[in-house]
Amino acid sequence: MTELLYYEESYAIMGACFQVYKNKGCGSLRGSQNCFEIELVYLVCFVG
């Protein structure tokens, strides 16, 4: 398997995806997109 070019960033994005899935479940796509956007903004502004 090849190495990821941006390992930490990829890991953070996957974590955001799992966090949205954990909170929203498999529901409407639009609601999940909004939550994912909020989660990414949180990661950029407050974590990294």
**Long-range pairs of 27-33 with CB within 8 A, sequence gap ≥ 24:** none
Residue 28: its pLDDT value, please? 63
* pLDDT tens per residue across span 1-48: 678 788 887 888 788 778 777 777 676 666 777 777 887 787 777 765
Q: Quote the pLDDT of residue 36.
A: 79
